Structure 1
Amino acid sequence: MWKKRKSKEDAMNVVFMGTPEFAVPTLEKLTQFHHVAAAVTQPDKQKGRGKKLSFPPVKEAALKHGIPVLQPAKARDEQFIEDLEQLAPDVIVVVAYGQILPERILNIPKYGCINVHGSLLPKYRGAGPIQWAVLNGEKETGITTMYMEKGLDTGDMIDKAVIPLDQKETSGTLHDKLMELGADLLLETLEKLENGTAVRTKQNDNESSYAPMLSKEMGEIEFTKSAAEIEQWVRGLNPWPSAYTELGGKTLKIWDADIVSYDGDERPGTIIEVTKKQMIVACGQDALALNEIQLSGKKRMSVQAFLAGSRVDTGTVLGE
């Protein structure tokens, strides 16, 4: 679809801003078709017991391609802004960078600052658009490219790409699909910016919704909710922070489950049936058949494998 540039003079001069794995495919695609003058990412972080410094995924990708890396503590730092001005980018591409950009930066590039956002705006503005699409049971979602402005994901939209959510879609599988889709859509958008065919579409604020970051506390399952709601929650919190309850005083993470029809009157959270492959738990409406779990201190495994080494009786109440 896109051809490599005949020369460096023919390529756009791009500054890329991003931090997590989600941003890497877009950076990789940019290096094939444009000149990436610098990659801007968050500072390195200490991880693990040894407090070893860990590079953000974007930094690792940039260094692999010999791209200069900038890691300002704050995007408002005067020296950093001056460095960006010296680079004189045609466009600044932003993918999950993690900081609000001051207006002075937004005004630097000729074509503006273009954001690749993981939802169909104006729905799901904010830090957790991918997860909330799954948590809320959306049938489809996608990627939006837009001009950045001072508001949070409120800028004029340029392009959209839509994909359906599979029945067993998790936040993890959707994340991987959208990061590849975003890379391709960004190249389309840049082509339109260059040839003057990009169309600005204002967002309808009345149709907007906010997608906040997830927290570990959100993972605790309330079995008084319907099995359908809980099953969406299990998928939406996979891989992080994961949906969990308690079994025998230990944390039990639930990684995969199915909805089962049930019209009994057992207390929500009660295990009403144990088969060779599943544990079935009563919910506020219907029941949840657990397929894949992880008890604290053990590996993630199928319920069948778990039951081969552990006994769980019907009547056991989860969450106590």
Structure 2
Amino acid sequence: MKVVFMGTPDFAVETLKAIYEAGHEIILVVSQPDKPKGRSGKLQPTPVKEFAMEHDLPVYQPAKIRAEESVEYLKGYEADVFVVAAFGQILPKVILDMPRLGCVNVHGSLLPKYRGAAPIQWAVINGEKVSGNTTMLMGPGLDDGDMLLKSEIELAADETGGSLFDKLALDGGKLTVKTIEALDRGEITPIPQNEAEATHVGMIHKDLGNVDWTKSAEEIERLIRGLNPWPSAFTFVNGKQLKLWKAKVMDMSGEPGTIIDVNKNGFTIACGSKALAVEELQLEGKKRMAAADFLRGYQLETGTRLANGRE
């Protein structure tokens, strides 16, 4: 099968890899333009472009996929299917109509729930027990196309945004290959999404990690896991940012944001309901470490209040 692949970040690489290893002919890889990175400002290729270059696959990087020159360029490729995974630009109808089998998208949620940019992190933050991937025929809207196949993954009790990302990326590649092959054989009947069940989630921003200690310990613990490894949940102690990487809910109480217990293994912070025992953290300017190691070099006392911003 002749495939044009469109994707940009790490999540998309596993899908591209799966299609490549399944033996399909990838006639073009489309990815976002390179972006400057670090102090040097040197252009950094996207993860998808890196994979393509390593495997001698042709790459096209349009600034705007909707631009006339982009549309004309893609018309030169007679593909059976376009596969899209976290590409980062919305495709116009003229492109959606190009391939024989249409444009197949893999999305990291069980649609119609969690349409939008960050379904994986929000599934952890919201305490979902099950997540998964959905393949669909792309429509003109955001993640609203007719569904093709689904796969479910149960979230572990200690699931983080990072661990779920890895699981769904690998699973998404397998599901996509299964989808395009079954679609080519005429074995799939697309199913419209139920708009009444649709939910939308926005992008993850750094300030989302600024912990509100008036919330319940359960909510904050899920936030910590959902924002691990990026952008991380954080608070402030004595004017310095303190990133929180791992914590455990405790059946204790006190004034929200106050340290109510300090021992050799770590310390406990009161929340709006119950409390959190911090197990792994990172003080501004320091490396990530266990709370027990942190306390060997930093003195914390019960009664210390943690801030929601610099004070």
TM-score, normalised via structure 2 length? 0.98
CA distance in 1, matches of 2:304, 2:118: 35
Q: What corresponds to 1:141 in structure 2?
A: 131
CA shift digits 1:154-188 (9 cap, x unpaired):
00000000010000100000000000000000111
Determine if the alignment matches structure 1 residue 18 to structure 2 residue 17. Answer: no
Bigger Cα displacement from structure 2, 79-88 vs 159-168: 79-88
What 5-or-longer segments of structure 1 have no aligned partner?
Answer: 1-11
Q: Which residue of 2 aligns with 1:281?
A: 269
Deviation at 1:214, TM superposition (A): 0.7
Whole-Å separation in 1 of the counterparts to 2:184 and 2:199:
31
**SS, match of residue 176 in structure 1:** helix
**Aligned counterparts, 1:165-180, within 5 A:** 165-180=155-170
How much has 1:75 moved relative to structure 2?
0.4
1: CA distance between counterparts of 2:193 and 2:181? 22
> Counterpart of 2:235?
245
Q: d(CA) in 1 for partners of 2:57 and 2:210? A: 42
Could you tell me how far apart the structure 1 residues matched to 2:64 and 2:305 are? 48
| Aligned-pair identity (%) | 53
- CA-based RMSD: 0.7
Paired with 1:104 and 1:196, the residues of 2 have a C-alpha distance of 23
Deviation at 1:194, TM superposition (A): 1.2
Distance in 1, matches of 2:129 and 2:93, equals 36
Deviations 1:58-113 (A, max 9, x none): 00000111000000000012222112111111100000000000110000000000
Aligned to 2:94: 104
Displacement of 1:277 after TM fit? 1.3
CA drift at 1:222? 0.5
1:45 to 35, 43, 56: 35
> CA offsets per residue over residues 178-211 of structure 1, 9 Å max, x none?
0000000011101111110012111001111001
Q: Provide the residue aligned with 1:7 in structure 2.
A: none
Deviation at 1:239, TM superposition (A): 1.2
Match of 2:109 in 1: 119
Q: Distance in 2 between matches of 1:229 and 1:71?
A: 40
Task: State the 1:294 CA deviation.
Answer: 0.5
Distance 1:269 1:43 in 2: 43
SS in 1 for 2:16: helix
Q: Distance in 1 between matches of 2:26 and 2:70?
A: 17
Superimposed CA distance per residue, residues 207-233 of structure 1 (whole angstroms, 9 cap, x where no aligned partner): 110011011111100010000000011
Distance 1:74 1:47 in 2: 21
- Give the partner amino acid of 1:15: V
Per-residue deviation, 1:29 = 1.3
Correspondence for 1:68 among 58, 62, 75:
58
Structure 2 partner of 1:4: none
Displacement of 1:284 in angstroms is 0.6
Partner residue, 1:302: 290
2:245: which partner in 1? 255
Runs of 4+ in structure 1 off by over 3 angstroms are none
Tell me by how many angstroms 1:144 deviates: 0.1
Q: For residues 65 and 268 of structure 1, what CA distance do their matches in structure 2 show?
A: 54
Instruction: State how many pairs are aligned.
Output: 307
Give the secondary-structure state (helix, strand or coil) at the position aligned to 1:87.
coil
24-33 or 42-51: bigger deviation: 24-33
Deviates most, 190-199 or 57-66: 190-199
Alignment-derived partner of residue 19 in structure 2 = 30
Deviation per CA, 1:25-74: give whole Å up to 9, x if none: 11111112200001000000001111011000000000111000000000
SS of match in other structure, 2:142: coil
Letter of the structure 2 residue corresponding to residue 274 of structure 1: V
- Partner of residue 54 from structure 1, selected from 39, 44, 66: 44
Measured after TM superposition, the shift of residue 318 of structure 1 is 0.7
**Mapping 1:168-317, distance limit 5 Å:** 168-262=158-252, 264=253, 266-317=254-305
Question: 3-state DSSP class of the match of 1:142?
Answer: strand
